[in-house]
């Protein structure tokens, strides 16, 4: 069997849903499990609804719900008929009631816990899969619609829940019965705790759902269908000259994803690695394009791609007492551990340690704790740029080319990944786009 995941833009309209189904039909004999995201922008709108609700704007929040529901109802009208239409309408109406009561409740409380947020955003995927399955049946296909909350078992860290792989594997095998000639359709992104409370795997988490399901069922391949032809040399939204990379290793793909290439979710590589399942990244608008395949090992060396991540904060911890003192780094990292904040990059000098972080939710508490034994300096509005490739660093000229290209851009922190596949550095956010363009030009647009 295979897993095929369709992202938000790949199910963003009637036309796109039909394209996605055409692609799934072309794999029908491979017993596909189709994992779908919410329609494009729906997750963002649902989160906007909770923001309005928290301010007490109940009407605004309910207005957003009505708009989302109307979009799905309009779609249902446009491509369903008879029993399929009636059934889909009934389910969508049920979801409208559920969402409206959440909007009302949250706006009365003026509060939205991570748990409530997950309850709200889960509707995005539940709505899109209702339409996708109904359309498949309308087209005469055999389609099972499964609720991923019945098999994607997670812990209760709402908004970025961690899957319980053993339990999920057992449940997935029990609940999903893929077979040649039919489609099994389910939601990406959502799961539930042991007590049945709805959770999500974090933004962009449908890719992760797909590889978890693939690993659980021993899939031959996992295909991630999106709006670009694979993993490209950098984000094509910033550099239109970016070109697709035919093959990349799990390690390289994971680094790229972690450092900002949102084409795949960073956690989604791991379940595939463990089972050695090849992951294909393909374009729903250009299915004939080979896209990218992510494999255990790839040959060849050289720079593969440039990723970048904005909204990064630098934390500089200074202590003269650190001179010759051991245990200083340990104390620092204990603070980060306590506040569940992961550090991306680190650079140390004799009396200071500089770290970059993405998540600033607990920054205040972190600073308070660090100030007990050091001086702390916070610099916001930074960006991380990450060059990923194999063994490029062995060539002296590589560093010269990197910093020659960036000669007019101040670099705040440099880190050569221990994995030998990445060189990362931090620049001012306002310089990020320019730096990426310059590096891309240097390494991918010259004929050398």
Residues near ligand ASP, by CB under 6 A? 7-8, 37-38, 43, 124, 188-189, 203-206
**Partner touching 117 among Mg ion, ligand ASP, ligand ADP, none, CB below 5 to 8 Å by kind:** none
Report d(CA 116, CA 136) in Å as an integer.
31
Question: Residue 394: which residues within 8 A CB-CB, separation 6 or more?
Answer: none
Beta carbon of residue 189, minimum distance to ligand ASP (angstroms, whole number): 4
Question: Which residue's CB is nearer to ligand ADP, number 213 or number 231?
Answer: 231
The four Cα atoms 217, 222, 212, 204 give a dihedral, to 10 degrees, of: -150
**Partner touching 32 among ligand ASP, ligand ADP, Mg ion, none, CB below 5 to 8 Å by kind:** none
Whether the CA torsion 333, 337, 339, 345 is positive or negative: it is positive
Question: Which residue's CB is nearer to ligand ASP, number 37 or number 415?
Answer: 37
Q: Within 10 A of 130 (CB to CB), how many other CB atoms are there?
A: 23
Q: Which residue's Cβ has the minimum distance to ligand ADP?
A: 7
Please, is 373 exposed, middle or buried when counting C-beta atoms within 10 Å of its C-beta (0-12, 13-18, 19+)? middle
303: which 2 tokens? 């720079």
Which spans of this chain sit near ligand ADP (rule: CB under 6 A)? 7-10, 37, 204, 226-228, 231-232, 234-237, 261-263, 305
DSSP 162: P
Beta carbon of residue 282, minimum distance to ligand ASP (angstroms, whole number): 16
**Partner touching 261 among ligand ASP, ligand ADP, Mg ion, none, CB below 5 to 8 Å by kind:** ligand ADP
317: which 2 tokens? 């911890």
Q: Within 10 A of 231 (CB to CB), how many other CB atoms are there?
A: 30
Which spans of this chain sit near Mg ion (rule: CB under 5 A)? 7, 204
Question: Which residue's CB is nearer to ligand ASP, number 207 or number 344?
Answer: 207
Question: Which residue's CB is nearer to ligand ADP, number 118 or number 255?
Answer: 255
**Partner touching 203 among ligand ASP, Mg ion, ligand ADP, none, CB below 5 to 8 Å by kind:** ligand ASP
DSSP 232: B
**Partner touching 259 among ligand ASP, ligand ADP, Mg ion, none, CB below 5 to 8 Å by kind:** none
Cβ pair 384, 308 in contact under 8 A: yes
Question: Which residue's CB is nearer to ligand ADP, number 46 or number 261?
Answer: 261
Question: Which residue's CB is nearer to ligand ADP, number 281 or number 335?
Answer: 281
Beta carbon of residue 221, minimum distance to ligand ADP (angstroms, whole number): 17
**Partner touching 227 among ligand ADP, Mg ion, ligand ASP, none, CB below 5 to 8 Å by kind:** ligand ADP
**Partner touching 232 among ligand ASP, Mg ion, ligand ADP, none, CB below 5 to 8 Å by kind:** ligand ADP
Beta carbon of residue 118, minimum distance to ligand ASP (angstroms, whole number): 11
Beta carbon of residue 42, minimum distance to ligand ASP (angstroms, whole number): 7
**Partner touching 23 among ligand ASP, ligand ADP, Mg ion, none, CB below 5 to 8 Å by kind:** none
Ramachandran category for residue 324: left, alpha or beta (phi over 0 → left; psi -120 to 50 → alpha): left
Question: Which residue's CB is nearer to ligand ADP, number 366 or number 385?
Answer: 385
- Kindly give the interhelix angle for 58-79 and 82-109, rounded to the nearest 10 degrees: 170
The rounded radius of gyration (Å) of the Cα atoms in the chain is 23
**DSSP, residue by residue, 242-278:** --B-SEEEHHHHHHHHHTT-TTS-GGGHHHHHHHT--
Question: Which residue's CB is nearer to ligand ADP, number 116 or number 129?
Answer: 129
Whether the CA torsion 175, 202, 28, 281 is positive or negative: it is negative
Closest CA to 424 of 335, 315, 346: 346
């Amino acid at each position: 069997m295979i897993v095929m995941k369709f992202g938000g833009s790949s199910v963003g309209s009637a036309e796109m849903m039909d394209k996605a189904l055409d692609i799934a039909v072309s794999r029908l004999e491979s017993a596909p499990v189709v994992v779908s995201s919410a329609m494009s922008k729906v997750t963002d709108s649902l989160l906007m609804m909770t923001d309005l609700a928290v301010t007490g704007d109940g009407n605004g929040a309910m207005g957003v719900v009505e708009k989302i529901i109307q979009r799905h109802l309009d779609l249902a009208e446009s491509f369903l008929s008879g029993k399929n239409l009636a059934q889909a309408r009934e389910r969508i109406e049920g979801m409208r009631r559920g969402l409206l009561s959440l909007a009302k409740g949250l706006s009365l409380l003026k509060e939205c816990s991570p748990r409530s947020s997950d309850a709200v955003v889960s509707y995005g995927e539940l709505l899109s899969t209702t339409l996708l399955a109904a359309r498949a049946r309308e087209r005469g296909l055999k389609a099972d619609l499964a609720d991923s909350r019945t098999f994607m078992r997670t812990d209760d860290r709402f908004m970025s829940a961690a899957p319980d792989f053993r339990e999920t594997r057992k449940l997935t095998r029990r609940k999903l019965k893929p077979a040649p000639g039919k489609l099994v359709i389910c939601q990406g992104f959502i799961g539930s705790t042991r007590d049945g409370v709805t959770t999500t795997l974090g933004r962009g988490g449908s890719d992760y759902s797909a590889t978890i399901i693939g690993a659980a069922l021993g899939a031959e391949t996992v295909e991630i269908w999106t709006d670009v032809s694979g993993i490209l040399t950098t984000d094509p939204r910033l550099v239109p000259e970016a070109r697709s990379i035919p093959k990349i290793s799990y390690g390289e793909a994971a680094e790229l994803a972690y450092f900002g290439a949102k084409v795949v979710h960073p956690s989604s590589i791991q379940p595939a690695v463990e089972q050695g399942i090849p992951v294909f990244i393909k374009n729903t608008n250009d299915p004939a394009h080979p896209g990218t395949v992510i494999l255990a090992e790839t040959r060849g060396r050289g720079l593969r791609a440039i990723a970048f991540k904005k909204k990064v904060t630098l934390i500089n911890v200074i202590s003269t007492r650190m001179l010759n003192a051991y245990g200083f780094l340990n104390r620092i990292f204990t603070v980060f551990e306590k506040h569940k904040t992961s550090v991306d990059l680190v650079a140390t000098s004799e009396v200071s340690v500089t770290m970059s972080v993405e998540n600033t939710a607990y920054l205040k508490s972190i600073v308070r704790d660090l100030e007990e034994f050091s001086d702390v300096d916070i610099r916001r509005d930074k960006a991380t740029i990450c060059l990923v490739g194999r063994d490029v660093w062995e060539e002296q000229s590589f560093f010269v080319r990197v910093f020659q290209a960036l000669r007019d851009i101040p670099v705040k922190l440099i880190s050569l990944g221990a994995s030998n596949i990445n060189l990362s550095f931090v620049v001012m956010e306002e310089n990020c786009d320019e730096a990426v363009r310059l590096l891309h030009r240097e390494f991918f647009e010259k004929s050398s």
